[in-house]
Amino acid sequence: MKRVSEELPEYSYMYLGDNARAPYGSRSHEVVYNFTREAVEFLFSQGCSLVILACNTASSHALKRIQKEYLPFYHPEKRVLGVIIPTVEDIIESNSAKRVGVMATEGTVSSNAYNIEIKKVDPHIEVFQKACPLLVPILESGEKNSKVTEIVLRKYLEPLLKKRIDSLVLGCTHYGLLEDKIEEVLRGKGIRVVVEDRIVASKLKDYLKRHPEIEQRLRRRPEIKFFSTDLTEKFTLLGSDFFGKSIKVQKISF
């Protein structure tokens, strides 16, 4: 949200965090699909014409079903996009990725989504995945700068480094908050770190240029509304820290 709203400040945005049921990473495909559909329905009810699933697990477990089974019958004029395809496009366009490491949630790793999508375009690229279930809880608890975080990162990165990766995908939108710490661990190793927030913002800008029929329906009023299914003081404090300015959050329920 921070990066997209900076890249495209002229539009109106709504952010929905399903904090009451997060994290999604260890849940089944069916549960993730149902949760994601409920979130999409809420955002559509608030007037959104375009929804981005800013979650790799939702993008891998729910996006295609929503696009094929839900939108054509209930909201054919609206669009739902994910974060995996734009990231894969960036990897391919770089022309330098031959051995790609992916840090992600258990759900994203088990879906094999990155491996499948990358090899659709270039079957010669090797993909190595590592599930990192502790990183989201660490960030959600506000422990980004703790010594424990550094130890956990090194533990997760070690098996990927042994594979001699040349690129590293931070395959969870939370992980971008750890970019500087990951860069420290990788310093001097010549590994390109692929961070989704910058990629999604750039790709969204391009998408709207290519789809004026969608862009014309977007509300042009620079405002941002934040919603959460579990409004706590910690969420507001961390959200303000992550977003870079104070935010006001409304609690909603499905």
In tens, the pLDDT along 82-115 reads 999 999 999 999 988 999 999 999 989 999 999 9
Active-site choice (1, 43, 51, 55): 55
Residue 40 has φ and ψ, to the nearest 5°, of: -65, -45
Domains, the chain: 2-82+198-251 (3.40.50.1860), 84-196 (3.40.50.1860)
**Cis link prior to 133 (omega < 30° from 0)?**
no
Give the burial class of 66: count Cβ atoms within 10 A of its Cβ; 0-12 exposed, 13-18 middle, 19 or more buried.
Answer: buried
Catalytic annotation on 55? Answer: yes
How far is residue 6 from each of residues 11, 160, 181, 254, measured CA to CA in Å? 10, 32, 23, 30
CB-side neighbour CA atoms (13 Å) of 171: 36
Q: Is 132 noted as a catalytic residue in this protein? A: no
Q: Which of 90, 86, 166, 153 is CA-nearest to residue 127?
A: 166
Q: Which listed residue (160, 172, 182, 249) is catalytic?
A: 172
Instruction: For the chain, 254 residues long, give each residue's pLDDT as a single digit of tens.
Output: 999 999 999 999 999 999 999 888 889 999 999 999 999 999 999 999 999 999 999 999 999 999 999 999 999 999 999 999 999 999 999 988 999 999 999 989 999 999 999 999 999 999 999 999 999 989 888 888 899 999 999 999 999 999 999 999 999 988 999 999 999 999 999 999 999 999 999 999 999 999 999 999 999 989 999 999 998 888 899 899 899 999 999 999 98
